[in-house]
Each structure stands twice: as C-alpha cells, then as structure tokens.
Structure 1
Amino acid sequence: MSKPVSLSFEETNLDLIAEAEGRVCVLVPVEGNLGQEARRVNRLTRGAVERMRAAKSEGANTGDVITMAWPSGMAAEAVDIVFLPRQCSFQEAREAGAKIAQKRGEQPLLVLAGNHRKAAEIAMGIALRDYGFDDHKTAEASEDARTVRMMVSKPDEIKAAADPLLAVAEGVFFTRDLINEPANVLTTTEFANRLDAMQSIGLDVEVLDEDKLAELGMGALLSVGIGSDSPSKVVVMQWNGGETNAAPLALVGKGVVFDTGGISLKPAAGMEDMTMDMGGAGVVAGVMRALALRKAKANVVGLVGLVENMPSGRATRPGDVVTSMKGDTIEVINTDAEGRLVLCDVMHYAQERFNPAGMIDLATLTGAVIIGLGHANAGVFANEDMICNQFLKAAATEGEGAWRMPLGKAYADQLKSRVADLKNVGGRPAGSVTAAEFLRRFVRDGMPWIHLDIAGVASVKTATTYAPAGATGWGVMALNRLVADQYEVSE
C-alpha cells in the first residue's frame, strides 16, 4: 500500500540549513519582515531571497512558489521560496504544501517552517500531493526521495497537531490505491481481504459470503455478480469510538470491481477505466481507516457491496425480474445500471441491522452526473436539508466539490414498470436523478439520507490540487470532517 511521505518534525537549527541536500523550502510573506529561517537563507545566498521577493512580489498570490536553482552558499540543489503569511487560512496552507510537494520531484526536502501557525496543515498538503501509484512498476524509488523534514520551533506540538491530519491522508491514500488497482489484482476476494486486514488497526470487520447474502435475500445484489467467477461479498466495518449503544452513522459504498456492463455490454473505448467502478466502496474504506487511525470518538459503520459485472451464460439479462432484500421486485431494463442494484440491498441491510442515526451512500453511479457537473463536483441528493447542509459545509471546508441536485415524484414516476414494482432505469432524461430516486425507495421514512454520485470526481485524467492524475480519494476528507463536526462525542 502507498504511504504518505515520511514526514519528521525537528527543532529549528539555523546552522544545518547550509548543509542540507536536495531541496530547501523557505516560507516568506509577500511583504514585511522575513522570519529567522528566511533571513538565514537570504544571508547564505547573499541577498537572493530578498531580490527574488522584490522581483516577484507584485502580483504574487498566497501559496505561489518561485525556485532558485543551485543557490550559491548552500549545498542544496534548489531553494523554493513560498509566499505564505503566518495569518493564512488552513486551506491556503494546505494548498501551499501541495505546491511544495509538486515542485520537489524525487528529491529529499527540508521545509523551514519555523513558528508558522499552520505548519501542520502545510505538512498535510505535502502528504496529500506526494502520491504516486507505482506498485506495478519495476523500477524502485529511492527511499531518500520519500523524506521530508520540517524544521519548526515547537516540533512536539506540531507533530501532535499533524498526526490526526496524516491519519486522514493515509485514509485518502488507501482509497486512491484501491481505485487505481487493476481488476485482475483487486478481485472481490482481494478487496475483502484488504478490508479484513484493518482489524489490526482496531476496526471490527465481518465478511458476508454469497450463501449468507442469499439467506438474507439480497437478490438484487447477487443478480449483478452472478455472471462472474469472482464471488459477490458484503463487508461490514465497525468503528465504535463514541458512546456505548449510540446509533452509528452508516456509510454504504458501491464496490463493482470491474464493470463490463454485463449483457448490456459497454463500448470498448474507455472500458479500461471501469476498474474505478468500486470508487464508492473505496471511499468508505478510506474513511473507516482514517477514523480508526485517528481514534475518532464516534460510532460509524461502513458497509460495501463487492461484485463484478460480467457477461456469461449465467448473467442477468435485460428483462429479468429480481427481488431485493426489502422485497420489492425490480425489472432489469439495462444490466449496465447495476450499481443501484448493489446499493439498494446493502442500504436495506444497514438499516435493518444497525438502525443508524443517518445514512450516506457513495457510488460511481451515472455518466449523467458527469454531463451535468463535469469533474469539479459530486452530485449530492438528500431527503432532508439538515444532513445535506452539514455535508455540503464539510465538503466546502475541505475543498472537495459537491453540488446538491433535485429529487421529486416526477423523477420517481419514470421508474414505473409494467411487470414489476419498479425498473432499474428511467430513460435518458435526468439519469442521475432517477438513479437517486431508485435508491430513495429503499430508505426508511424518517431516516436522514444522502446519496453521493461520485462518477465525475473519483478518478480524473488531469492532476488536481491534492492529487496527480488518477484516483483522487475525493470524499474521505469531507466525510471525516462531517463525522468530526456532527457525530463525535465532545470531550
């Protein structure tokens, strides 16, 4: 598994700055007095820091980075000058950290943070952006290249502040690794094994096999994976860090480890991207890992339905009717609208077993949400304002794009079936909305619920602020923030 960069915090020592190898990063305000670390670098480089600040400060924005290559008077190969005042926001500090990580490449890095108030957030930004999925590359990366040292005035305090942030970063990395993993490696069994291994960090993990799913009546979920040799599974992860017997928040994830479309076969072009169709389950897993690592004082249960959607002589056909765990019959119009069949059974099971305080499902569910929102925002659908607004606030705080979409009877009516209680698609108009309405049918009256359609944000073709191209880990930080703000027990 990829791990966040090796970050260490040490007491500021001005005498060591000249000898530091690789890359040195120094924080300076756009105007005003330099800190002692910046003054030291300025003296070593015979005033170069001040000259470059004067030349670049006009029009410079918070977080901008300029580079001085092979600075005289220092052993470093480069010095990065980062415009970052002490009074910046934590988002600005994180973004600056991400830019620092992006600049450094494969070099060891010394960050001269001194007494900067947001040093822990800078570390978080460095950790989030310093990611590369190279598990299947034969070249070995240098261990030195994974090293970041931060010189700070109070290393113990900064480490204490950074540790829970870096726990969240590890959750983000876990999600990215799962989504980036090819389907011949991340089978349903391997996925379940990786989640089961998280018992070592304190999660209670239970794996339900096909016999148990059949006994429970999960006919909708089982109909998706019936055409594959990879067995369908549901994995239940519990973190009980809150009050004893307090109802948990339930997180439910779609885990289609590969989606061919089944009998309604997808076009060949771009089908290789369907390794990311388990993104919802990946986010749930990453959140649960983060909560366990930072020992969150909340009760949260994560449930993921793991299946593979393949065509075969056993596969579900368009026109088939399947029965969900709830008992509703579903006419399968299109076998490529399979994620909702997985989610509806797992959502029903989550409510039956745990009677949660609220429920949030995540899925790379529809291409329609990408047409509507592109890759900047996930689609947010909710049955009440309070939980929706709480999540939107958490997502905005963490810089993860989310936009509320409508629900309503007119959309639900598109799912009426001639031969069953409902059908699994409602036609092309408002495809992401009718998918959400399908899921809402499986939410109990009075249950606060959010559906997150993350098809556009789970994996992207170009780099984002905090991630290179590929899996983003979108949602781990927002959901962790939601738990921290709304569900954790106060001290």
Structure 2
Amino acid sequence: MTLQFSLGTAAPETVDTACILVGVYEQGMLTSAAARVDSAAEGVIKRQVESGDITGKAGSTTLLFAPHGVTAKRVLVIGLGSQKTFDEARYQKVSIEAARALGKLPVADAVSYLTEVDVPGRDSAWRVRIAALTTDHAAYRYTATFKPRDKSKQVTLTNVSFAGNADAQTGLDQACALAAGIEFTRELANLPPNICNPAYIAEQAQTFADGQGDKVDCRVLDHVEMERLGFGSLLAVARGSVNKPKLVVLEYKNGNEGDKPYAFVGKGVTFDTGGISLKPGPGMEEMKFDMGGAAAVLGAFIAAVKMELKVNLVCVVPAVENMPDGDAYRPSDVITSLSGLTIEVLNTDAEGRLILCDALTYTAQTFHPHTIIDAATLTGACVVALGKHATGLMSKHDDLAAELIAAGEKTLDRAWRLPLWDDYQVQLDSGFADIANIGGKSAGAITAGCFLSRFTEGQRWAHLDIAGTAWDEGRKGLATGRPVALLTQWLMDRIA
C-alpha cells in the first residue's frame, strides 16, 4: 500500500506535522479540534468565519499556512455542513473532499482530526475506516504505462495519522486490508488490454497465492483442460482471440473444517469488441474495463485474506478476450454449456453471461458452496436504470439480497435490488436451443440476471451488475474498486 496509516492522540495544536485537518460546521460552529487550534492561534479560524472566507459548506476547504501558536505547518479546514443533518453519507463526502485537497498539497505527512466528528449510529472504528479508505482512494495514482519520472524532488503524501484511541484500531486494520484489495482491483482494471490479458490475470492471482504460503491455493485451467471438461459456452466466446482463455481458481481455507465455502465469481473479459456483433467505435476503449468483475472479486479475496477472516472462501475468474475472427462464434450458433443446457447465440456482445454460466456451473459442481455471488460489468441496461451510483443486485433469495444491501449501506458501496421474477424468463425462449443469450430490448439487465439464474438453480446465489459502478466515465476515467468494500463487508458480517 502506498500510504501508511496510524492512530494518534496528540493535541491538534501541538502535533508536529506538515498539515492537520479540522472541521467547521455551518453557522461558524467549530469542532473540538478546530476550537483548540483557534484558541491556540488567537482566533484565526473564527476571524475567517466572520469574514466569510470559511463558510462551513459541506466539502469546502480552506488552507491556513503556519498559523502562530500552532506547531503544524498547515491547517486544512474542512466544511462539514449543517450539524443537525450530519450523517454517514455527509461524513464520506467531506472525507473525500478533504483527501482530495490534502493530496494537492506538497506534504509528506498529515494528521486528521475529522475522525473525532460524531456520526450518528457509527463508532470510531467505522469513522477511521472510512477516512482511511477515502484518503487512500484519493491518493491513488495510475503510473504503470507512463514514462518514468524523476521523483527525487517531488513531495508525496506517505503517512497519515487519524485521531483515535485503541477502540478505532480495528477500523484501521480493516481499512489497510481493504485498501490493499481495492488498489489491486483498480490497478488490474486500469491496465491496457495488451498487458492485462487472461494469462496476466492468472499470473497475478498465482503471484498473490505464492506470497501467502499454504494459506491460499491457486489453480489455473487452460483451454485444453476446459475443453476436456466441457466448457463449451466459455470457449465459444474465446475462439476469436489469440489470447487463450484461463479459468483462475483461488481457495482460502481459514474457516472451520467441513464448513461449506463462500464463493465469488467475477466476469473477466479483458477486452470486449462485441465479437461479430461489433460494438460502435466511440467508447470502445473503455471495454478494457470489462474485466472489472474479475478484478473486484480478486480484490475482495485479497482483502479477506489480509484480514485473516475466519471463513472458507473460493474465488473463480473466467478470463477471456472477445474478438472478431475467422474462427469467432456467430449469431445463430448453438453452443452447449458445461451444465448441458444449449444456448442460441443471438448477439455475440452478450458474452459475459456466456462465460459466467460455465464458471457458475463449475463453482457449484466443484465446491458445493454455501453461497455464490457473481460480479460482472454485464449490461448497459443497468447503467441506464441506476446510473453510476448504485450496483444492480438480483437474487431470488430475499435474505441474501438483504444481507448485501446492508453491507452496501455500511460501506457506502451501495446496491439496489432489481426484480428477478419468473415473468421475465419467457423473453429468453428460443426455437432452436434450451435458452437464448439475450431477451430483447426491454429489461436487459434483468433478463441477463434471469439467464444466469438458469445455471444456479438449487444454489443460494446473487448477481451484482457493476457496469455502472466499476469505473468512472470519460477518457481519463479510472477504475473505482467497487464492489470490493461491499463484498468484503458481507463476508465480515457472516462471522460477526
């Protein structure tokens, strides 16, 4: 992890650091830390409040340089908004803006006192965890494919301390593990497809497993073994690419012996042209992110291992590239999945569900898991329905859906449930196979979920469509790391 985090109890006016962060509510109401700084600096904050330079508007920032009477070289004042309506969402917002402002300063270390701010219903461990994660997220820089730069004269933020006592240590430890998983997810998803292909994903998974000793096992199935086993649907998608598919399987056995594992399955299309059903050119460069589900389940797996969660966990990643070629699969092809169900291909751009169905079947048959959760950048229809804020959640199990929604609320990595009623299944009827791979123009996200449900019968299963949440829009948009926090929190809740 790039940043190092710690806890501290030093008084804000005496702590020796490059920058301290304190909060001010609207109407000039100072937090405890801000009041102590203001008193030591002979009213410097209150004077700026009175002049209107500090408004307390939520997310606003004001930098005070070397105020007399304060040991820190800088004081960054963060607006908290109205105290009466302050809640967890506002806390996350101001934490993000504070982290962004801090990241723009030429400082190597800082101490944040925002973690002392009261958040109704949340304890100090939660506050520290959110503050650390938002700081780490803002500090992330993608540099893998840039020309190396001379960093000898650059001042980079490397150490951040948060106000908190021993009660907050759990939150800090969780944040460090989550940050490692999220950084792994973001870095993997941000890489270009000429680097991050199926073999590269397999190598990264193997490297992580090798670094964990006997705690983690890694197995990689190649196209020859998958053909022998009958992965007809996954292999059909991969036929058009010179980059051969891989099925990556990670196992973490840290629960009770004999307990059924939890299973994560992630869509790993390292680049999606749409195949013969070629996508339009504009925006196609974003299709390197079509392995966001794979990156996310691997990141959640890493976070769980680093937290040493007392669970048995399996992570399965079908990794392929969807390319047009003389050997590519075609619309109207009928393919046979690992489950034995035949599938009529109506559109080769609906490929994610075709690799997931075989991966889900393999996971169920091989590991007999307690619960399977898949994550996939599956449908543009989900983006139309929910935008970039909420992950689409589908499950026939009300209790599982409720667990995932609750985990999303705790982490502010939210999901919204969409129906998975049998009424929609008729849209997948085919005259030439057991099922078609698309369901027509209406309810595209839901019919994709319905398709996957055909391959998870008898399983406790949920589907997360992260097409809108896995990366930010635009040519400079980066991977977000979602839903690593949601998935990891869900696991944590299972052993709470």
8 Å contact kept, 1:45–1:71: no
Correspondence list, 1:385-396, <5 A: 385-396=398-409
SS in 2 for 1:145: coil
| In structure 1, C-alpha distance between the alignment counterparts of 2:164 and 2:450, rounded to whole Å | 54
Task: Give the aligned partner of residue 374 of structure 1.
Answer: 387
The alpha-carbon deviation at position 20 of structure 1 amounts to 3.5
SS in 2 for 1:280: helix
The alpha-carbon deviation at position 357 of structure 1 amounts to 1.0
8 Å contact kept, 2:21–2:75: yes
SS in 2 for 1:380: strand
Instruction: Give CA-to-partner distance per residue, 1:222-268, whole Å, 9 cap, x none.
Output: 11111111110111111222211111111111100000111111111
CA RMSD of aligned residues (A): 2.8
For 1:404, which of 395, 399, 417 is the aligned residue? 417
For structure 2, list consecutive stretches of 5 or more residues without a partner in the other structure. 117-123
**Structure 1 residues 320, 112: closer, same or farther in 2, change over 3 A?**
closer
For 1:182, which of 177, 189, 192 is the aligned residue? 192
Amino acid at match of 1:185: I
Task: Give the aligned partner of residue 101 of structure 2.
Answer: 103
8 Å contact kept, 2:438–2:447: yes
Correspondence list, 1:161-200, <5 A: 161-199=171-209, 200=211
Q: Does 1:364 align with 2:377?
A: yes
TM-score by length of structure 2 reads 0.88
Structure 1, 454-463 or 326-335: larger mean CA deviation: 454-463
The alpha-carbon deviation at position 179 of structure 1 amounts to 1.3
SS in 2 for 1:272: helix
The alpha-carbon deviation at position 392 of structure 1 amounts to 1.1
8 Å contact kept, 1:96–1:122: no
SS in 2 for 1:460: coil
| In structure 2, C-alpha distance between the alignment counterparts of 1:406 and 1:164, rounded to whole Å | 33
Higher relative contact order structure (alpha carbons within 8 Å, sequence separation ≥ 6): 1
Task: Give the aligned partner of residue 270 of structure 2.
Answer: 257
Q: Does 1:483 align with 2:491?
A: yes
Q: Does 1:79 align with 2:75?
A: yes
Task: Give the aligned partner of residue 222 of structure 2.
Answer: 209
8 Å contact kept, 2:61–2:98: no
**Structure 1 residues 162, 345: closer, same or farther in 2, change over 3 A?**
same
Task: Give the aligned partner of residue 141 of structure 2.
Answer: 132
| In structure 2, C-alpha distance between the alignment counterparts of 1:265 and 1:215, rounded to whole Å | 30
| In structure 1, C-alpha distance between the alignment counterparts of 2:73 and 2:13, rounded to whole Å | 18
8 Å contact kept, 1:234–1:303: yes
| In structure 2, C-alpha distance between the alignment counterparts of 1:29 and 1:267, rounded to whole Å | 48
Task: Give the aligned partner of residue 120 of structure 2.
Answer: none
Correspondence list, 1:419-430, <5 A: 419-430=432-443
The alpha-carbon deviation at position 59 of structure 1 amounts to 7.2
The alpha-carbon deviation at position 66 of structure 1 amounts to 3.0
Instruction: Give CA-to-partner distance per residue, 1:373-400, whole Å, 9 cap, x none.
Output: 2112221111121111111111122112
Instruction: Give CA-to-partner distance per residue, 1:345-372, whole Å, 9 cap, x none.
Output: 0000000011111111111111111122
Amino acid at match of 1:176: R
Count of aligned positions: 476
Instruction: Give CA-to-partner distance per residue, 1:407-447, whole Å, 9 cap, x none.
Output: 233321121222211111122121111111111110122x2
Structure 1, 336-345 or 195-204: larger mean CA deviation: 195-204
**Structure 1 residues 262, 106: closer, same or farther in 2, change over 3 A?**
farther
Instruction: Give CA-to-partner distance per residue, 1:170-204, whole Å, 9 cap, x none.
Output: 11111111111110110111111111111113422
Instruction: Give CA-to-partner distance per residue, 1:284-304, whole Å, 9 cap, x none.
Output: 001000000111111221111
SS in 1 for 2:156: helix
Amino acid at match of 1:150: S
SS in 1 for 2:113: strand
SS in 1 for 2:335: strand
| In structure 2, C-alpha distance between the alignment counterparts of 1:424 and 1:207, rounded to whole Å | 27
| In structure 2, C-alpha distance between the alignment counterparts of 1:300 and 1:153, rounded to whole Å | 32
**Structure 1 residues 374, 351: closer, same or farther in 2, change over 3 A?**
same
Q: Does 1:12 align with 2:22?
A: no
| In structure 1, C-alpha distance between the alignment counterparts of 2:373 and 2:135, rounded to whole Å | 29
8 Å contact kept, 1:461–1:469: yes
Structure 1, 376-385 or 350-359: larger mean CA deviation: 376-385
**Structure 1 residues 462, 420: closer, same or farther in 2, change over 3 A?**
closer
Task: Give the aligned partner of residue 457 of structure 1.
Answer: 469
Correspondence list, 1:227-246, <5 A: 227-246=240-259
The alpha-carbon deviation at position 40 of structure 1 amounts to 5.3
Task: Give the aligned partner of residue 156 of structure 2.
Answer: 145
Amino acid at match of 1:195: A
Task: Give the aligned partner of residue 47 of structure 1.
Answer: 43
8 Å contact kept, 2:112–2:161: yes
Q: Does 1:474 align with 2:470?
A: no
| In structure 2, C-alpha distance between the alignment counterparts of 1:365 and 1:14, rounded to whole Å | 48
8 Å contact kept, 2:13–2:72: no
The alpha-carbon deviation at position 218 of structure 1 amounts to 0.4
For structure 1, list consecutive stretches of 5 or more residues without a partner in the other structure. none
| In structure 1, C-alpha distance between the alignment counterparts of 2:143 and 2:22, rounded to whole Å | 30
For 1:416, which of 417, 420, 429 is the aligned residue? 429
Amino acid at match of 1:107: P
Structure 1, 299-308 or 51-60: larger mean CA deviation: 51-60
| In structure 2, C-alpha distance between the alignment counterparts of 1:231 and 1:317, rounded to whole Å | 18
| In structure 1, C-alpha distance between the alignment counterparts of 2:226 and 2:17, rounded to whole Å | 58
| In structure 1, C-alpha distance between the alignment counterparts of 2:54 and 2:67, rounded to whole Å | 25
| In structure 1, C-alpha distance between the alignment counterparts of 2:115 and 2:276, rounded to whole Å | 61
**Structure 1 residues 290, 46: closer, same or farther in 2, change over 3 A?**
same
8 Å contact kept, 2:178–2:485: yes
SS in 1 for 2:267: strand
Structure 1, 44-53 or 414-423: larger mean CA deviation: 44-53
